[in-house]
A and B are shown apart, each in its own frame.
Chain A
Amino acid sequence: MKQSRNIWQNFDFWLFSAVLILSILGIALIRSSIAGNIELIDHAQRQTTFLGISLVVLFVVAAVDYKYWTTLIQPMYLVTMGFLLFVRTAEARFGSARWLEVGEILIQPAELAKIVIILTLANFFANQNHRFLKLSSILKSAVLVGGLLIWIYLQPNLSTSIVILVIWAAFLWITGIRMRYILIAIGLVLFVLVIGALTEFSFLEVYQKDRITNFLFPDPDARYGETYNVDQALITIGTGGWFGQGYNQSTQVQLRFLKVRHTDFIFSVLAAEFGFVGTLVVLFLMVVVIVRCFRISQNASDTFGSLIAYGFGILIFFQSIVNIGVNLNVLPVTGLTLPFVSYGGSSLLSLMLGIGLLESVAMRSEKRTK
């Protein structure tokens, strides 16, 4: 009992509180986003249910020592690959086969893949004992990543593919990649861009190319489509002013001019109804979550724990800046949601599982994270 009490003393309440506030705020914003759309009517309810389940998962995962997960990594990796292969043969939904129907619940294997990749890479890099990463280690990690990434990319799901690539790159960074490899990587990216330009990016799907083209060269006359969504998001954010139009009061949201408002553009809903002050609060909470992740990583008692915390920190950081960047029209439309806030059961569940792991790491670190 004594030991257990010590563990819970290290529970990171800052992180937990920020995450909980964001999730509850998310449900409120989802409720506002329904705006009389019959298809969305039960979404706030569903998200609440998922939040309940997720919190249970969070505490269970936090209570369990994260080191037990090392034995599960390999089977999880194989199961995820199996899921991904299964959805490839399953019925296509929303233009790309991303969903796996388990009973009543739709699960996105891609969300699962993110967790598995983080755990796999954390485990892999924790076992590398050199000060600098060896090239062979980099290549081995690339194979691990590629084993899942290829199926996600083929779904096609460009945004999750990019997220996984970013996580991998972030792992390479933190585990001590040499500067010269970074330079080589930059060289490679440039090379791909040149090749891409020569082959007119034939390896990208049409819609993927359209999104990038729309972002780089918007058609000023477009009334509908990608540009329309982004333009409406910008208008919606702009109507917020200092304090917003009030909850359930944004005309852009309530009259449904803003599209995909419960997922991709939920940040715009926030900006419109709660204004600049509201967005500052959410940005602050996001920064709290991300910074806490990295602090837990720095204070972890072992490398595996440290890298788990780091990996989830990167995941949350990257998804937030990309999603908000899309809303602010500084990045092309990607389909990445805002962590904890956007509607999405699988996403919330996997993120909360990650927070559970983080808490597990935090609770078992030698010193209390400040």
Chain B
Amino acid sequence: MSIFPQKNKKIENWRYLVLFILIGTIFGFYVLRLFDIQIIQGEDFIAQANDNRTQVIYEPAIRGTIYDRNGYILAQNVPSYNVVVTPGYLPADEGNIQEIFRELSALIDMPVSQGDTDDETVRNFTPCYNDLGISEIVYIATTNWPFQSTALKCDVSQDVAMVVMENSEEWPGIDVEISSVRHYPTGELTSEIIGFLGPIPAVLEDYYVDQGFVANRDKVGYAGVEQSLNDVLAGRNGMEVVEVNVAGEIVRTLEEPIEPVPGNDVVLTIDSRLQSIAREALISELEYWNNFSGRTISNNGVVIAMKPKTGEILALVSYPNIENNRMERIIPGYYYEQLSNDPQRPLFNHAISAEHPPGSVYKMAVALGVLNEGVVTPEYEIEDPGTITVIQRFYENDPGVPRQFVCWDRNGHGMVNFLEGVAYSCNIYWHKVAGGFGDEVPDGGLGPWLMSEYAQALGYGTVTGIELPGEENGLVPNPTWKRLTLGENWATGDTYTAAIGQGFVLATPLQVLNSISTIANGGKLMDVTLVNQVVDQEGEIVQKLTPSVRWDITKDPVINMYDGNVETSETKSVEPWVIELANQGMRMVVTEGTASSYETDRHADLFRNDSSRSAGKTGTAEYCDNVAQEQGLCVPEAWPSHAWYVGYAPWDDAEIAVVAFVYNGKEGATLSAPIVRQVIDAYFELKLIDSSAEP
């Protein structure tokens, strides 16, 4: 049967049995394992598989344009052409690829290769901001996302973009991507209002991602109305759920795509012509006085113009500010650092965020209180000897220490009535009526409680609500505040200093303007606004400016009455004749008071021959902040001071109110009043031009 010898060795069956048991055990275990993976954990793995294959594409929404009140563009989107590569679509032949790279390299002026790449360069790769060659970028893109486009060169000229597009047949995988970049044609003229954009900050990433923004791509407002009106301007990204393969190539659309909703356009109340005039007036005034005194007096100031009747802001200058057109594409690190380290704080909106003592402008709040409460009659004359001595008491039976108060005019103004007190800004008059003085003003005058009530009625101590980020609310002090924050009783002298807007009182330039604007507007405190209209992409007006009155102090009972230090339930409003007299007083400031003339040749007339029939109030606010202290300027009796002036015109039917503030600007009449006059005059000139232009 067989030519081979049969060798039969008995193989023990138990050794097979062990193997059969092994087979059974292992396959049994695998069946259990499969049951676990496929049936028990199946849902989880299906979810993971769906996660693998689905990708959500957010199509960017177009951001709204920002216009000024005359339709002049302040912020817009401009196309930016990027040359991009999609490695997956490059030709298969390495030689062809190199040829494309060579031709492209010459066109876009970018080396084909820039040497080797290491892990570090790959990890730090940022499209548009690298100095890699074409090959390196293609290598990085191939490894990470072969079917997504990656920018080779950003912001090429339209001509180069056209050439690339024409060559798209010969250069598969190379394309032009048009992205939109925010452009600020007016740059630093309006940067404190407009602000700028930046990448979504890490801390707010969740918030923005929930709203459909894409981190590391979409930008959000970092300052100005770009920030405060981000929701209005940004629109909403479109969304498309697609199926992708492992290379990131889109296979098909899974859900009905949601089209992007473009952002709305915003028309601001700003008149950029007036803004420009206000800015120029401020800068030239600063330059003049810096030259005149041969040293830098100030490089910091604010001008704001508004319409008292509507609360519309016409111009808002915070100087120095930033060049927001340098931040269109990215925020350059060195520039941002330079801005951050600038002692004048250009990133800070001085108009709404800087809190300074308002100085004599604050007297107008006291003025309303004094007449409304009947502390004195308008005709009642108070003596200003130039210097008075008051016994400073911290509590009722405090023997006290004498403290001297002086008028800015050491010779005194003699006998002063209400209107003269306003016109000449007579400190002694306001000290006495606010804090009481012997038999002349008995019963402690207006007192700190009511003084703070009248100040708050004019908007001091609360934000105005302007559509800008970072507004501060200032400080209206009262005895309770002092006890809580300083742990000290209110002293007689505190009332005296607060009466002239010194001491603890702080206000932003916008609050100072708004307080005078309220008086000019017959007692109506308006909600300040920057937004004239919001218009959607179809041209429909979504939101239109409707002037809103926060309160009318002649009608609304906004003054709380006090019994000693205790607030009572009694409230009152301000008599209209009181406001009328306050207006007359401020008119006198211009006609014969502190703003009527000045001794230097420059602006000798100041407000004399003022065709606009304006009124106003000067302020010279002594201060001693850390900057002044470092420079050794805080000398008692000769403290440094900020220059304030608030003017409005015409005085009896105001249509414009302007504040000028110059940090360390000495006298309000000298530095700030001329700026206000220029802006007011320009306003009426522009009005004339506009009315003649219209048929």
User: Which A positions have Cβ atoms within 8 angstroms of B?
Assistant: 65, 67, 70, 126-129, 173-176, 232, 234-242, 251-252, 255-257, 271, 275-276, 279-280, 283, 286-287, 290-291, 294, 297-298, 301-304, 306, 317, 321, 324-325, 328, 330
Contact = CB atoms under 8 A, between A and B. Distances in A.
Interface residues of B, number: 41
B334 interface: no
Dominant secondary structure at the A interface: helix
A237 B53 contact: no
A238 B30 contact: no
A238 B53 contact: no
A280 B2 CA distance: 42
Given A298-B16, A304-B7, A255 B39 contact: no
Given A255-B243, A321-B30, 7 more contacts: A236-B49, A238-B48, A276-B38, A294-B20, A298-B16, A325-B30, A328-B33
A63 to B, nearest CB: 15
Interface string B123-167: 000000000000000000000000000000000000000000000
Contact of B38 (A173, A256, A275, A291): A275
Contacts of A65: 2
What's the dominant secondary structure at chain B's contact region?
helix
B142 to A, nearest CB: 14
Contacts of A286: 27
Contacts of A294: 16, 19-20
Interface string B300-313: 00000000000000
B9 A242 contact: no
Nearest to B15: A174
B293 interface: no
B246 A271 contact: no
Counting from the closest, the 5 A-B pairs by CB-CB distance are: A238-B45, A255-B245, A67-B4, A256-B246, A303-B9
Nearest to A130: B9
Contacts of A330: 33
Contacts of B46: 238-239, 241
Contacts of A290: 23
B26 interface: yes
A286 B3 CA distance: 35
B627 interface: no
Contacts of B8: 302-303
B39 A70 contact: no
Given A67-B2, A238-B44, A242-B39, A255 B7 contact: no
Given A255-B246, A257-B52, A302-B6, A242 B38 contact: yes
A242 B9 CA distance: 47
Interface in B1-59: 2-4, 6-9, 11-13, 15-16, 19-20, 23, 26-27, 30-31, 33-35, 37-39, 41-42, 44-46, 48-50, 52-53
A281 to B, nearest CB: 12
Contacts of A242: 38-39
Contact of B11 (A175, A235, A236, A283): A175
A252 B49 contact: yes
B330 interface: no
Given A257-B246, A294-B20, A276 B53 contact: no
B4 A280 contact: no
Given A174-B15, A251-B53, A256-B245, A237 B9 contact: no
A306 B48 contact: no
Contacts of B686: none
A251 B246 contact: no
Contacts of B41: 238
A236 B50 CA distance: 11
A275 B42 CA distance: 10
B34 A235 contact: no
Given A240-B38, A294-B20, A235 B52 contact: yes
A59 B20 CA distance: 28
Given A175-B11, A328-B37, A235 B31 contact: no
A286 B31 CA distance: 13
A298 B8 CA distance: 12
Contacts of A70: 4
A236 B37 CA distance: 10
Nearest to A126: B7
B9 A283 contact: no
B27 A283 contact: yes
Contacts of B26: 321
A328 B19 CA distance: 22
20 contacts: A65-B2, A175-B11, A176-B11, A176-B12, A238-B45, A239-B45, A241-B42, A251-B53, A255-B246, A256-B247, A276-B34, A279-B38, A283-B30, A290-B23, A294-B20, A321-B26, A324-B30, A325-B30, A328-B37, A330-B33
Contacts of A301: 6
Interface in B187-244: 243-244
